[in-house]
C-alpha cells in the first residue's frame, strides 16, 4: 500500500475510527435499546458486552489489519488461504449497508431545511411517508421499482458526490481530515442540545424513564442479545472497517491504547445522546400528557417522526431541529465513508486498479445502485428488510466466522496477541484470548441461531414472506456466492506474499 495512503499519525487514525463508530447508532439506536433493555439496569449487559466482546474484537481486528497490512480480503488471505472469503463477506456487507445508509443521511439533509420551517405541520408521520418519501401503499409498496422521488434523490446525489470527493482526497487528506473537523463540531452541538434539553419541562421524567433500573430485564436473554448487538453495531465491528483503517497505520502505533480511546469515546457519546434524547422525550410526553414510554420509539420513527412532532411544540424548536439534523448528517457522513473505504481498498488490492478508478468506478457504481433503488416510491420497505438482514446476519455472522476461524482453525491468537503487545501500551494476555476463543463464539453463535429461528418462524412484521425471501434471504445468499467467486479469482503475482 502506498505511502500516500497512510494516516499521518495516531491522532488522525483515532479521529477516523471515532468518526466511524459515532454514527446514527449512537443517536437513535442506543437510547431506545437501553430504555427497552431495562433502563438503568441495562448498564450491566452493556458493559459486559463492551468488555467481553466489543473491546477484545476491536483489538483483534486492529491487529489483523496492522500486522497483515491489507484490505479485509488481502489481510485474511495473508492469514490463511480460504479465509479471504471472510474478507469479501465483510466487503459485501459494507457495500450493502453503504447503499442504504447514505439514503438516511440524505433524509437528514432535507430535514435540516424542513426543521427551519417546520414543514411537517401537525402531522410528522404523514409528512414523512407521504409528502416527503411518497411511499406507495398496500401491495404496491412491496414491489421494487425505480420511480424516483426527486426530493430524496437529489440530496442523495449530493451525499454521494461529497463522499466520493472525500475518498478521492484519500485516507489522510479526506477521511481523517473531515473526521477531525466533524467530530469536534458534533460533540459541541450535542453538548449544547443536551444542556438545552435538560432545561425543558418534563426533562427529568425522561431521564427517570431512561435510567430507572428494571432489574428483572436482566433475566431476559433478549436483553443480553440486544446489548451485544448494540455494541457490535456501535463500534463498527464486523464490517472490515477496523482492518481497513489499521492497515493504513504506521508501523509503530499504540494499537490497544487507540482502541480503548475509541471504545470509550463511542460509549461516552452514547450516554450523551441518551440523555439528550430522553430529556427531550420527557418534555414531549409531558406536553402530550402521556407516559414517556408512549413517545419513545426506535430508529427512523424516533428521529423523523417523534422528534419533528416534539419540535413543533418546543420554544426554539426550529433551531433545535436544525442542530439535531445537522448532527445526524455529520455523524452519518463519517460513518458512511468508513464503510465505503472497506470496498474501495479491497478492489484496489485485488485488481490493482488506481485510487481514481476505484473511487469513480466502484464508488460510482455504489452511488448509482443507491440512487436507483432507495429514493423511490418503494424504497422504504427495501431499506427495512436489507437493514434487518445486514445487521442481524451479516455482522453477527461475520463476527462469528472471524473468531472461530482465527482461534480454532488458523490458531493465530498468539501471533496477533504478540503483535499487539509489541507495539501497544496496554498488553493483552490470557483474558483476551479467552474472550475471543470461547466467550464471543458462544454468544455470537447463540445470537445467530436464535435470529435464524425467529426469522423463519415469525418473518418480519407485516412484510409478505416472498418479499423477505427474495430481498432478505436472497441477498444474503447472493453475498456468500459473490464472496466465494471473488476468493477464487487469483491474485496478481507478488501481492499476497509481498514483504510486509
Ligand atoms: N458505528 C456506527 C453507528 O453507531 C454504525 C455504522 C458504522 C454503520 C459504519 C454503518 C457504517 O452508527
Ligand atoms: Na456507534
Question: Average pLDDT per run of 10 along the chain, which is 500 residues long?
Answer: 72 97 90 88 94 96 97 97 94 95 96 96 93 91 88 98 97 97 97 96 94 92 90 92 96 95 96 93 90 75 88 93 97 98 97 96 98 94 87 86 97 98 96 97 94 85 85 90 96 92
Residue 94 Cα: closest atom of ligand 1: 11
How many whole angstroms from 7 Cα to the centroid of ligand 2? 21
Q: Which of 17, 19, 22, 24 to mutate to test the pocket of ligand 1 (most atoms within 8 A of CB)?
A: 24
> What is the C-alpha to C-alpha distance for residues 201 and 179, in angstroms, rounded to an integer?
35
Residue nearest atom 10 in ligand 1 by C-alpha distance? 335
Q: What is the pLDDT of residues 296-343, one digit of tens each?
A: 766 678 889 988 988 998 999 999 999 999 999 999 999 999 999 999
Q: Which ligand is nearest to the CA of 100?
A: 1
Strand ranges (DSSP E) for 46-190?
none
Architecture of domain 2-489: Up-down Bundle (1.20)
Task: With beta carbons less than 8 A apart as the criterion, state whether 183 and 15 touch.
Answer: yes
pLDDT at position 297 is 66
Q: Where are the alpha helices (DSSP H) in 170-288?
A: 177-198, 203-211, 221-234, 241-247, 255-288
Q: Whose CA is nearest to atom 11 of ligand 1?
A: 335
Helix (H) or strand (E) holding 479: helix 474-488
DSSP state of 407: I
Predicted local distance difference test score (pLDDT) of residue 4:
42
* Contact assessment for residue 395 and residue 238, using Cβ atoms and an 8 Å cutoff: yes
pLDDT reported for residue 141: 87
Pocket test for ligand 1, best of 16, 25, 263 (most atoms within 8 A of CB): 25
Centroid of ligand 1 to alpha carbon of 99 (angstroms):
13
Please name every residue paired with 148 in a beta bridge, in sequence order, or none if there are none: 376
Q: How far is the CA of 21 from the centre of ligand 1 (A)?
A: 6
Return the pLDDT at 372.
Answer: 96
Ligand 1 center from residue 24 Cα (angstroms): 7
Cell 437493514 belongs to 387
Q: Which of 31, 175, 233 to mutate to test the pocket of ligand 1 (most atoms within 8 A of CB)?
A: 233
Per-residue pLDDT at 1: 46
Domain boundaries along the sequence of the chain: 2-489
Ligand 2 centre to CA of 369 (Å) is: 25
DSSP label at residue 236: T
DSSP 8-state secondary structure symbol assigned to residue 250: -
Q: CA gyration radius for the chain?
A: 22
3-state percent breakdown (helix, strand, coil) of the chain, nearest 5: 80, 0, 20
Closest CA to 70 of 212, 244, 195, 214: 244
3-state secondary structure of 376: strand
Note the ligand closest to the C-alpha atom of 93: 1
Half-sphere exposure of 443 (CA within 13 A, CB side): 28
Q: Which atom of ligand 1 is nearest to the CA of 338?
A: 9
CA 4 to chain centre: 27
Q: Which helix (H) or strand (E) holds 46?
A: helix 43-49
Distance 341 CA to ligand 2 centre (A): 17
Binding pocket residue ranges, ligand 1, CB within 6 Å: 20-21, 23-26, 97, 101, 233-234, 236, 335, 338-339
On the 0-12 / 13-18 / 19+ scale of CB atoms within 10 A, 485 is: exposed
Q: How far apart are CA 499 and CA 135, in angstroms?
A: 53
CA 406 to mean position of chain CA atoms = 23
The 3-state DSSP class for residue 411 equals coil
CA 98 – ligand 1 centroid, Å: 10
At 410-447, the pLDDT tens digits run 999 999 999 999 999 999 999 999 999 999 999 999 99
Of the ligands numbered here, which is closest to the C-alpha atom of 96?
1
Grid cell for residue 393:
446476519
What does pTM read for this prediction? Answer: 0.95
Specify the residue for cell string 489483523.
64
Q: How far is the CA of 291 from the centre of ligand 1 (A)?
A: 30
The answer to whether residues 156 and 373 touch, using CB atoms and an 8 Å cutoff, is no
Cβ distance 151 to 132 under 8 Å?
yes
**What ranges make up the beta strands (E) of 331-483?**
none
Amino acid at each position: 500500500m502506498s505511502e500516500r495512503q497512510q494516516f499521518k499519525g495516531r491522532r488522525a487514525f483515532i479521529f477516523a475510527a471515532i468518526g466511524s463508530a459515532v454514527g446514527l447508532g449512537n443517536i437513535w439506536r442506543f437510547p431506545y435499546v437501553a430504555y427497552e433493555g431495562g433502563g438503568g439496569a441495562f448498564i450491566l449487559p452493556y458493559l459486559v458486552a463492551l468488555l467481553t466482546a466489543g473491546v477484545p474484537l476491536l483489538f483483534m481486528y486492529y491487529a489483523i489489519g496492522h500486522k497483515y497490512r491489507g484490505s479485509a480480503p488481502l489481510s485474511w488471505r495473508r492469514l490463511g488461504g480460504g479465509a479471504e472469503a471472510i474478507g469479501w463477506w465483510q466487503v459485501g456487507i459494507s457495500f450493502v449497508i453503504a447503499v442504504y445508509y447514505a439514503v438516511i443521511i440524505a433524509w437528514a439533509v432535507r430535514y435540516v431545511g424542513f426543521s427551519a420551517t417546520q414543514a411537517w405541520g401537525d402531522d410528522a408521520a404523514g409528512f414523512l411517508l407521504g409528502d416527503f418519501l411518497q411511499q406507495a401503499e398496500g401491495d404496491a409498496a412491496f414491489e421494487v421499482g425505480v420511480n424516483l422521488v426527486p426530493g430524496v434523490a437529489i440530496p442523495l446525489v449530493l451525499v454521494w458526490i461529497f463522499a466520493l470527493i472525500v475518498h478521492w482526497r484519500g485516507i489522510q487528506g479526506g477521511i481523517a481530515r473531515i473526521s477531525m473537523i466533524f467530530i469536534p463540531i458534533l460533540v459541541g452541538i450535542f453538548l449544547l442540545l443536551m444542556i438545552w434539553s435538560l432545561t425543558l419541562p418534563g426533562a427529568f421524567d425522561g431521564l427517570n424513564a431512561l435510567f430507572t433500573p428494571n432489574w428483572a430485564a436482566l433475566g431476559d436473554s433478549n436483553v443480553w442479545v440486544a446489548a451485544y448487538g448494540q455494541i457490535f453495531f456501535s463500534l463498527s465491528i464486523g464490517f472490515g472497517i477496523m482492518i481497513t483503517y489499521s492497515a493504513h497505520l504506521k508501523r509503530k502505533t499504540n494499537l490497544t491504547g487507540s482502541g480503548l480511546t475509541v471504545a470509550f469515546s463511542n460509549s461516552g457519546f452514547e450516554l450523551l445522546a441518551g440523555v439528550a434524547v430522553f430529556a427531550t422525550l420527557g418534555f414531549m410526553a409531558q406536553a402530550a400528557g402521556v407516559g414517556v414510554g408512549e413517545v419513545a420509539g426506535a430508529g427512523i420513527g424516533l428521529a423523523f417522526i417523534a422528534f419533528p412532532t416534539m419540535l413543533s411544540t418546543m420554544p426554539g424548536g426550529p433551531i433545535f431541529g436544525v442542530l439535531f439534523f445537522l448532527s445526524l448528517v455529520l455523524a452519518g457522513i463519517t460513518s458512511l465513508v468508513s464503510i465505503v473505504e472497506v470496498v474501495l481498498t479491497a478492489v484496489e488490492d485485488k485488481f490493482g486498479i488506481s485510487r481514481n478508478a476505484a473511487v469513480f468506478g466502484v464508488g460510482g457504481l455504489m452511488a448509482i445502485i443507491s440512487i436507483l433503488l432507495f429514493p423511490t416510491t418503494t424504497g422504504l420497505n427495501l431499506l427495512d428488510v436489507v437493514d434487518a438482514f445486514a445487521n442481524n446476519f451479516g455482522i453477527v455472522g461475520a463476527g462469528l466466522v472471524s473468531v472461530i476461524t482465527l482461534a480454532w482453525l488458523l490458531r493465530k491468537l498468539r501471533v496477533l496477541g504478540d503483535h499487539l503487545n509489541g507495539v501497544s501500551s496496554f498488553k493483552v494476555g490470557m483474558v483476551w484470548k479467552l474472550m475471543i476463543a470461547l466467550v464471543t463464539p458462544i454468544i455470537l453463535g447463540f445470537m445467530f441461531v436464535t435470529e435464524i429461528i425467529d426469522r423463519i418462524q415469525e418473518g418480519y412484521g407485516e412484510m409478505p414472506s416472498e418479499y423477505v425471501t427474495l430481498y432478505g434471504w436472497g441477498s444474503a445468499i447472493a453475498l456468500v456466492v459473490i464472496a466465494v467467486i471473488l476468493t477464487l479469482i487469483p491474485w496478481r503475482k507478488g501481492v499476497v506474499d509481498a514483504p510486509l
